[in-house]
Chain A
Amino acid sequence: MRLSPKVVFRLAPWLLTVFLLVCWEAICQGFEIKPFLFPAPSLVFKTGVEMFDPIMTHAIHTFLTTLAGFAIAVLVGAIMGALLGSSPIIYKALYPMLVGFNSVPKVAFVPVLVVWFGIGSIPAIITAFLISFFPVVVNVATGLATLEPELEDVLRSLGASRFDILCKVGLPRSMPYFFASLKVAVTLAFVGSVISETVASNLGIGYLMMSASSTMNMPLVFAGLMVIGAMGVVMYELFALLEHRLTRWANRSQNAAF
Chain B
Amino acid sequence: MSFVEFENVSLSYSEGGQRAIEGISLQVAEGEFVAVVGPSGCGKSTLMKLISGLKPPSEGYVYVNGRQVGGPLGIVGMAFQAPNLLPWRTTLDNVMLPLEIVEPWRSERGARRKEFEEMARAQLARVGLAGFEDKFPWELSGGMQQRASICRALIHKPRLLMLDEPFGALDAFTREELWCMLRDLWQQQPFTVILVTHDLREAVFLADTVYVMSKRPGRILIRREIDLPRPRDLEVTYTDAFASHVHVLRESIGRVREN
Which chain A residues have a beta carbon within 8 Å of chain B's beta carbons?
148, 150-151, 153-160, 164, 168-169, 172-173, 175, 247, 249-250, 252-253, 255-258
In the assembled complex, the Cα of A155 lies from the Cα of B54 at a distance in Å of 11
Contact A150 to B80, CB < 8 A, known contacts A158-B98, A158-B101, A257-B141: yes
Chain A residues with CB under 8 A of B84: 148, 150-151, 153-154
Tell me whether B59 is interfacial, beta carbon within 8 Å: no
Q: Which of A150, A159, A256 contacts B101 (CB 8 A)?
A: A159
B102 engages A158 (CB within 8 Å)? yes
Chain A residues with CB under 8 A of B141: 257
Cβ distance A257 to chain B, nearest Cβ, rounded Å: 5
Contact A250 to B80, CB < 8 A, known contacts A157-B52, A258-B142: no
B82 engages A249 (CB within 8 Å)? no
B138 engages A255 (CB within 8 Å)? yes
Chain B residues with CB under 8 A of A158: 72, 74, 78, 97-98, 101-102, 156
Tell me whether B132 is interfacial, beta carbon within 8 Å: no
In the assembled complex, the Cα of A250 lies from the Cα of B89 at a distance in Å of 11
A154 engages B87 (CB within 8 Å)? no
B101 engages A164 (CB within 8 Å)? yes
Chain A residues with CB under 8 A of B102: 158-159
Q: Which of B73, B136, B169 contacts A258 (CB 8 A)?
A: B169
Return the chain B residue nearest A160 by Cβ: B101
Please report which residues of chain B, range 162-194, place their CB below 8 angstroms from some CB of chain A when the two chains form the complex: 169
In the assembled complex, the Cα of A150 lies from the Cα of B138 at a distance in Å of 17
Annotate B74-99 by CB proximity to A: 1 below 8 A, 0 otherwise: 10101010111011100000000110
Return the chain A residue nearest B102 by Cβ: A158
Contact A256 to B87, CB < 8 A, known contacts A153-B80, A164-B101: yes
Which chain B residues have a beta carbon within 8 Å of chain A's beta carbons?
52-54, 71-74, 76, 78, 80, 82-84, 86-88, 97-98, 100-102, 136-138, 140-142, 145, 152, 156, 169
Chain B residues with CB under 8 A of A150: 80, 82, 84
Q: Which of B86, B156, B169 has the most CB of A within 10 A?
A: B86
Chain B residues with CB under 8 A of A249: 87-88, 136, 138
Chain B residues with CB under 8 A of A154: 78, 80, 84, 97, 152
Chain B residues with CB under 8 A of A172: 86, 88
Q: Which of A148, A154, A168, A257 has the most CB of B within 10 A?
A: A154
Return the chain A residue nearest B79 by Cβ: A154
Q: Which of A156, A168, A247, A258 contacts B72 (CB 8 A)?
A: A156
Chain B residues with CB under 8 A of A153: 54, 78, 80, 84
Contact A159 to B138, CB < 8 A, known contacts A258-B145, A258-B169: no
Which 5 interchain pairs have the tightest Cβ spacing?
A159-B72, A256-B138, A253-B87, A157-B78, A158-B101
In the assembled complex, the Cα of A173 lies from the Cα of B84 at a distance in Å of 13
B52 engages A258 (CB within 8 Å)? no
27 CB contacts below 8 A, A to B, read A150-B80, A151-B84, A151-B86, A157-B52, A157-B53, A157-B72, A158-B78, A158-B101, A158-B102, A159-B73, A159-B101, A160-B72, A160-B101, A164-B101, A168-B86, A169-B86, A173-B86, A249-B87, A249-B88, A249-B136, A252-B136, A255-B138, A256-B87, A256-B137, A256-B138, A257-B140, A258-B145
In the assembled complex, the Cα of A49 lies from the Cα of B97 at a distance in Å of 58
In the assembled complex, the Cα of A249 lies from the Cα of B80 at a distance in Å of 22
Contact A257 to B142, CB < 8 A, known contacts A168-B97, A172-B88, A249-B136: yes
Cβ distance B192 to chain A, nearest Cβ, rounded Å: 15
Cβ distance B76 to chain A, nearest Cβ, rounded Å: 7
B74 engages A159 (CB within 8 Å)? yes
